[in-house]
């Protein structure tokens, strides 16, 4: 049974292309820097590096997970390099900040990136003070979404009742473990290749094309 979303006690948000709009192309910078890192590390051409990057992403959930598993790569240099980006392309969002201020319950970020990256982005948006926790790839022992391990650890470490929780994501497959564990799921739809939207996915409870507008309407009804 799906939770009455207005009665949620825990709100779990993905970061990239979820708390900020995909069309600002912030994650495109990360994508390019991943490709550049791989090209330099392995001495590959741009197309070869891109193919390896995307193959690992599809198979392991993140490119980094594939690099660690198959090549023993140390995660810290990779994460530091790919997140060295210009976050000023993300516009401050006072409407989102207002909606979050009215939204009852605990608010968390669950990201395959780093807490440092999340902090920079949330500060740019003007919403960092609304979040109790950032559960990042380090907290998940580098086991990324959609592997269920991180979800279970998030629930345990942050004292979350999944049956009273809402998870908001832009990547459809990342919602399947959340639904399995009892969460209500919200997909932020976009046209990016990694979104993997499937309109028949039973693990997606709500589809939303604009997080700020949707939260605004929801908070106004509380």
Chunk the chain into consecutive blocks of 10 residues (it has 222) and report each block's average pLDDT, rounded to whole numbers.
78 97 93 96 96 94 94 96 96 96 94 97 98 96 95 97 96 94 93 60 90 89 74
The residue count of the chain comes to 222
Structure tokens at 117: 């990256």
Residue 62 belongs to domain with CATH number: 1.10.150.450
Pair 108, 210 in one domain: yes
**Residue matched to tokens 């390896």:** 52
For residues 17 and 109, membership in a common domain is answered with yes
**E strands along 143-193, which residues?**
165-169, 184-188
How many Å apart are CA 40 and CA 188, to the nearest integer? 34
pTM: 0.92
For residues 50 and 153, membership in a common domain is answered with no
Mark whether 59 and 126 lie in a shared domain. no
Sign of the Cα torsion 68, 74, 78, 83 reads: positive
Buried b (16+ CB within 10 A) or exposed e, 144-183: bbbbeebbeebbeebebebebbbbbbbbbbbbbbbbebeb
């Amino acid at each position: 049974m799906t939770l009455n979303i207005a009665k949620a006690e825990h709100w779990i948000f993905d970061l990239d292309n979820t708390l900020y709009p995909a069309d600002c192309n912030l994650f495109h910078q990360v994508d390019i820097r991943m490709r550049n890192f791989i090209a330099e590390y392995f001495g590959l051409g741009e197309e070869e590096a891109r193919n390896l990057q995307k193959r690992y992403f599809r198979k392991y959930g993140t490119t980094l997970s594939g690099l660690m598993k198959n090549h023993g790569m140390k995660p810290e240099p990779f994460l530091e390099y790919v997140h060295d980006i210009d976050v000023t392309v993300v516009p401050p969002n006072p409407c989102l900040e207002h909606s979050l201020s009215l939204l009852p319950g605990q608010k968390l970020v669950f990201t395959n990136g780093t807490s440092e990256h999340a902090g920079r982005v949330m500060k740019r948006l003007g919403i960092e003070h609304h979040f109790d926790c950032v559960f990042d790839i380090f907290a998940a022992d580098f086991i990324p979404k959609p592997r269920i391990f991180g979800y279970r650890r998030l629930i345990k470490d942050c004292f979350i009742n999944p049956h009273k929780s809402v998870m908001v994501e832009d990547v459809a497959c990342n919602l399947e473990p959340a639904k399995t564990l009892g969460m209500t799921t919200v997909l932020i739809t976009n046209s990016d290749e990694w979104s993997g939207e499937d309109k028949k996915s039973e693990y997606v409870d709500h589809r939303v094309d604009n997080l700020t507008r949707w939260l605004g309407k929801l908070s106004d009804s509380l």
